[in-house]
């Protein structure tokens, strides 16, 4: 792991899911006495480790079948949630859309057909599909890795899924060709009128998303002293990538930086990679997703045998997008996996773009084109579920805004709500599984008797930033919430949070996350030992 630079830096991690928020806490410092806080010596020892001297802990564990409170520590106090806020935002979208909802992204032929030629333009009507086929496995599931590529610039170990990020566009292009069109005499455009984001949604959702709106840049070591090997995807004009990264001796530094032109189309990598290092991934953002998607589709059409008269690069030509599609012909459509698969992706890897997109999708279900109108939909969902929405504060979907707060109770009540629905198992299994997958895949590494392995399903979150005064990492929050296998077919819901911890470096941030995961595992063992009682 890289140590934190002396300059101020915010860590956004897949294993951490970091957001730049002031490392503040609410309430008294330290592990203050509270009802039902007899957690046992192992958990108490973790909570009293160095780095937690000024921290505030919160906990609520409830027997889901009986409602009995097992452990309770400041359950009604606000805590910075980090990415456990995604439990709320994605729940709202799941409820509004339905777990089996599929996004259908159509392509309309605007103009007259003359034999195999279209005297007009093709328009992709963007529908807010998070992956557009770029992660869809042969069985229809959505692929993910323990550390997602969207975190590659911040956390070592990010990897790529095997799928082609342009797969959905290739399928669309093939359908256009199968419709009988071989020539488009006009243009290709993206209709992005579905919704408009707002600044607090960062990363900003867009109606058309290809490869999470990033370019993947993979550097592989060669021989010491030689140029490293570079591969990148998706390769779409006019994007160009160059690299001056050199391979250094085994054990040497792997330190790769990425820079780009203002429009994002000229990308440069520099630095070093150790000869014994694993391939190292970086990403660069796509500045204009609509223009990028348009060009990517024109190139896909060419591969499918369809020519387009208009230049392939340049701005998205919104002028050819009609006011209405009445009288136009649908010549292609990409149909996504079910939304529950997207929710699983968001939960397993803490997908920030997908969580923010959930806010926009809720707005669309209410007939709005303004993403901020998703929050009233979320409010209605919570109230309908019997949950007091004033127990949470949100200004985004990912849990990265300084406004964001939750109580342990609101998270516990939400987790309980899902267990009373037909999607109970699907929602629970969409969470990372301790020691098995997602953000919790590695927490049992090197621990043969890891408590709770395979028996804790939980979303995690971290908020951390550089403390310039003390030259260390301030961990505003580390959180985990989900379900414990209490034995005999019973489940406990739990939510655990610590605000205001500190640590010397990024390795310590990861250790804090491991501490919370270990506490969760110990709580699971305690619950199972009691037979769920």
Q: Is the pLDDT of residue 518 over 90?
A: yes
pTM assigned to the model = 0.93
Angle between helical axes of 86-97 and 339-349 (0-180°, round to 10): 180
Question: Does pLDDT of 32 surpass 80?
Answer: no
Question: pLDDT per residue over 248-278, tens digit each?
Answer: 999 999 999 999 999 999 999 999 999 999 9
Q: Rounded to whole angstroms, how far apart are CA atoms 340 and 138?
A: 17
Confidence of residue 37 (pLDDT cuts 50, 70, 90): low
Whether 21 has a pLDDT exceeding 70, the answer reads no
The whole-number average pLDDT for the span 365-374 is 99
Question: Among positive and negative, which fits the CA dihedral 19, 383, 494, 23?
Answer: positive
Write down the mean pLDDT value for the chain. 94
The CA–CA distances, whole Å, from 489 to 62, 331, 419, 455 equal 15, 50, 13, 11
Q: Is a pLDDT exceeding 50 seen at residue 126?
A: yes
pLDDT recorded at residue 417 = 99
Token readout for 229 is 């090997």
Rounded Cα distance, 32 and 508, in Å: 23
Q: Which of 306, 335, 324, 334 is nearest to 188 (CA)?
A: 306
Q: Which comes out higher in pLDDT, residue 130 or 154?
A: 130
Beta carbons of 249 and 224 less than 8 angstroms apart: yes
Q: What is the DSSP letter of 227?
A: B
pLDDT of 532 > 70? The answer is no
Is residue 136 very low, low, confident or very high in pLDDT (cuts 50, 70, 90)? very high
- The reported pLDDT for the residue numbered 444 is 94
**Mean pLDDT value of segment 296-309:** 99
Pick the CATH number of 1-81+404-533 from 3.30.420.40, 3.40.50.1370, 3.40.710.10, 3.90.650.10: 3.40.710.10
pLDDT (average), residues 137-152: 97
| 466-488: pLDDT as tens digits | 999 999 999 999 999 999 999 99
pLDDT digits (tens, 9 = 90+) for 308-327: 999 999 999 999 999 999 99
CB 495 within 8 A of CB 478: no
- How does pLDDT run across 171-195, given as a tens digit for each residue? 999 999 999 999 999 999 999 999 9
The strand pair at 240-243 and 266-274 is best described as parallel
pLDDT at position 34 over 70: no
28 pLDDT higher than 70: no
Name residues whose C-beta falls within 8 Å of residue 322's C-beta, 6 or more positions apart in sequence: 110, 123, 328
CA 157 to the chain's CA centroid? 16
Considering the domain 102-337, what is its CATH architecture? 3-Layer(bba) Sandwich (3.50)
Quick one: three-class SS letters along 112-156? EEECCEEEEEEEEECCCECCCCCCECCCCCECCCCCCHHHCCCCC
- Give backbone dihedrals phi and psi of 319, rounded to 5 degrees, phi first: -65, -20
Domain segments of the chain as ranges: 1-81+404-533, 102-337
């Amino acid at each position: 792991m890289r140590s934190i630079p002396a300059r101020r830096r915010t860590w956004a991690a897949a294993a951490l899911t970091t957001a730049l928020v002031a490392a503040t806490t609410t309430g008294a410092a330290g592990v203050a006495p509270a009802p039902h806080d007899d957690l046992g010596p192992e958990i108490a020892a973790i909570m009293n480790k160095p780095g937690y001297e000024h921290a505030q802990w919160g906990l609520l564990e409830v027997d889901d079948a009986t409602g009995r409170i097992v452990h309770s520590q400041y359950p009604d106090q606000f805590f910075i949630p980090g990415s456990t806020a995604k439990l709320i935002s994605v729940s709202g979208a799941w409820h509004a859309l339905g777990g089996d909802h599929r996004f259908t992204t159509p392509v309309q032929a605007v103009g007259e057909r003359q034999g195999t030629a279209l005297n007009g333009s093709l328009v992709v009507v963007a529908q807010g599909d998070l992956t557009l086929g770029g992660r869809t496995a042969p069985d229809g599931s959505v692929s993910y890795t323990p550390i997602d590529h969207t975190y590659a610039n911040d956390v070592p170990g990010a990897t790529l899924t095997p799928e082609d990020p342009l797969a959905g566009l290739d399928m669309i292009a093939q359908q256009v060709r199968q419709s009988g069109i071989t020539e488009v005499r006009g243009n290709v455009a993206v209709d992005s009128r579905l919704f408009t984001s707002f600044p607090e949604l960062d990363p900003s959702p867009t109606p058309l998303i290809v490869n999470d709106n990033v370019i993947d840049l993979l550097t592989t070591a060669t021989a010491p002293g030689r140029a490293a090997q570079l591969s990148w995807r998706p390769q779409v004009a006019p994007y160009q990538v160059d690299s001056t990264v050199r391979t250094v001796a085994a054990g040497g530094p792997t330190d790769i930086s990425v820079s780009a032109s203002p429009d994002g189309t000229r990308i440069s990598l520099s630095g070093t990679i150790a000869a014994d290092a694993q391939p190292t991934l970086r990403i660069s953002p796509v500045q204009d997703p609509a223009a990028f998607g348009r060009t990517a589709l024109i190139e896909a059409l060419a591969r499918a045998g369809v020519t387009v008269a208009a230049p392939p690069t340049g701005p998205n030509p919104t002028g050819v997008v009609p006011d209405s599609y009445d009288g136009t012909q649908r010549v292609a459509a990409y149909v996504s996996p079910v939304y529950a698969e997207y929710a699983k992706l968001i939960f397993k890897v803490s997908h920030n773009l997908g969580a923010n997109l959930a806010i926009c999708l809720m707005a669309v279900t209410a007939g709005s084109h303004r993403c901020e109108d998703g929050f009233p939909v979320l409010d209605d969902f919570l109230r309908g579920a019997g949950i007091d929405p004033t127990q949470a504060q949100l200004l985004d979907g990912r849990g990265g805004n300084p406004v964001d707060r939750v109580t342990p109770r609101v998270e516990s009540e939400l987790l309980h709500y899902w267990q009373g629905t037909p999607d109970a198992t699907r929602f629970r299994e969409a969470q990372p599984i301790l020691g098995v997958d997602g953000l919790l895949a590695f927490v049992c590494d090197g621990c043969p008797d890891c408590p709770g392995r395979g028996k804790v399903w939980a979303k995690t979150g971290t908020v951390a930033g550089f403390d310039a005064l003390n030259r260390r990492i301030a961990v505003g929050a580390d959180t985990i919430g989900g379900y414990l296998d209490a034995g005999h077919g019973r489940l406990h819901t739990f939510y655990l949070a610590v605000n205001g911890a500190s640590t010397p470096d990024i390795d310590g941030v990861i250790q804090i996350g491991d501490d919370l995961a270990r506490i969760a595992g110990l709580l699971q063992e305690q619950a199972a030992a009691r037979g769920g009682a």
